[in-house]
Amino acid sequence: MNWLRPVTALIVGCATALVLFGAFYNRFSPRPEQGDPQLALQMIPVELLGGLLIGVLVYRVFGRKLADPTGSREDVHERMLMRFAFRRGGVVQLDRIENESPLDRMTARQLLHRWVQQGRAEETAPGEFRVLR
User: Digits of tens for pLDDT over the chain (133 positions)?
Assistant: 678 889 999 999 999 999 999 999 999 998 888 999 999 999 999 999 999 999 999 999 887 766 666 666 677 888 888 888 888 888 988 888 888 888 888 888 899 999 999 999 999 988 889 998 6
The full set of domain ranges for the chain reads 3-67, 70-131
> What pTM value is reported for the model?
0.54
| Residue-level pLDDT at 122 | 92
* Rounded CA separation 48/9 (Å): 13
Q: 86-120 burial, b for 16+ CB within 10 Å, e for fewer?
A: eeeeeebeeeebeeebebeeebbeebbeebeeeeb
Task: Give the helix/strand (H/E) hosting 111.
Answer: helix 105-118
| Residue-level pLDDT at 100 | 86
Which CATH number is associated with domain 70-131?
1.10.10.10
